[in-house]
Structure 1
Amino acid sequence: MMKKTGVCKNRGKSWVEFKGVIHRFKAGDRSHPETEAIYKVLEGLIQRIKLEGFTPVTELVLMDVSEEEKEENLNCHSEKLALAYGLLKTSPGTDIRVSKNLRICHDCHCWIKLVSRVLGRVIIVRDQIRFHQFEDGLCSCGDYW
Structure 2
Amino acid sequence: MQILATFEYSTFVEIAITELEQKGITTIYAVPLDLRKKEPRLLDSIHRADGMSFIDKGMIFAFMLGTIGASKGFVWPGGPIIWGIGGAFVGFLIGTAMSWVIYRLKRNKNQLQLKKGKTSEVILIVTCEDHQVSVAEDILWDHKALGLAITK
TM-score, normalised by the number of residues in structure 1: 0.26
Q: Which has the higher contact order (CA 8 A, sep 6+)?
A: 2
TM-score, normalised by the number of residues in structure 2: 0.25
Structure number having the greater helix percentage: 2
Structure number having the greater strand percentage: 1
Rg larger in structure:
2
